[in-house]
Structure 1
Amino acid sequence: MRQVLYISSAPGLGGDDVAAILDVCRSNNEQRGITGFLLYNGRNFMQLLEGAEADLQWLLERLGKDPRHSGMVMLADNIVDATVCPDWSMQEIRLVEDVAQRRERLAGELPEGLAPEIRQLVMNFAALN
């Protein structure tokens, strides 16, 4: 199983835009057995994706062509034994509170099996304003 973490820029998206993205993500991901989570801070996305190599490659190619975001940067690309988000076809984690609240809330929401280096990258992303 492959696990990837990326960031991208998506300034100007509203809550309805993100909700629509998530609806499509969840439907497509359920069909392909892809799991993960999406964070959005009002300007940038961070997304963790997990799934079979071929399915993730297909999805990453689609994401790279999506005009709603740009500047996609891969932060981690690992082979893992099992998903850390087995019940999340795409969990949304909104980052709207102040930074201290974000980090506290996020620490409780992230999956327990998340690798420490991935957890740290996510927590650092949450600290961005």
Structure 2
Amino acid sequence: MSRLIYFSEKRELGPGGVEAILDTARSNNERNCLTGVLLFNRKFFLQCLEGGREEVTATFGRIAADPRHGNVALVSVHDIDVRDFPDWTMGYVPTTSPEVNSVLRQFQETEDFDPRLLSSTTAVALMNAMRSMGRTTL
């Protein structure tokens, strides 16, 4: 199994916005036995994908080619023995609540969430810290 973390800048999301992305991701991830979580702050996506190496790689390739994502950057890819998000086909953490912003400030000094400022180690730690705040529905 592999874990991949990437970030991207939001482009035009089109009809349904982030909800449409989540619906599609959850359907595709369930079919491909992938799990993970998505952080979104209206400007950036930070996402963790877990599952079989081929499925994770193929999914990342589709995301990187998706016009809703710009400046896609790979943060971390590692083989794993255990999933961090085993029950989520795609958990969602909006970065708009005070509780989430409090956790974000532990990982970066700026008020606005900017995944470009995170190291791969910090990004993994942030994703794990967000686990308790994520939700599986919007």
Name the aligned partner's letter for residue 100 of structure 2: R
The offset of 1:64, in angstroms, is 1.1
How many residues in Structure 1 have an aligned counterpart in Structure 2?
A: 114
Shift of 1:56: 0.8
Task: Give runs of aligned pairs for residues 1-129 of structure 1, distance below 5 A.
Answer: 1-11=1-11, 13=13, 16-98=16-98, 101-104=99-102, 117=122, 118-120=124-126
Alignment RMSD: 2.7
User: How far apart in 1 are the matches of 2:7 and 2:47?
Assistant: 7
TM-score calculated relative to the size of structure 2? 0.72
User: Larger deviation: 85-94 or 9-18?
Assistant: 9-18
**CA offset at residue 60 of structure 1?**
1.1
1:97, 1:11 → 2: CA distance? 22
What residue ranges of structure 2 are gaps of 5+ in the alignment?
105-120, 130-138
For 1:93 and 1:16, the matched residues in 2 are separated by: 17
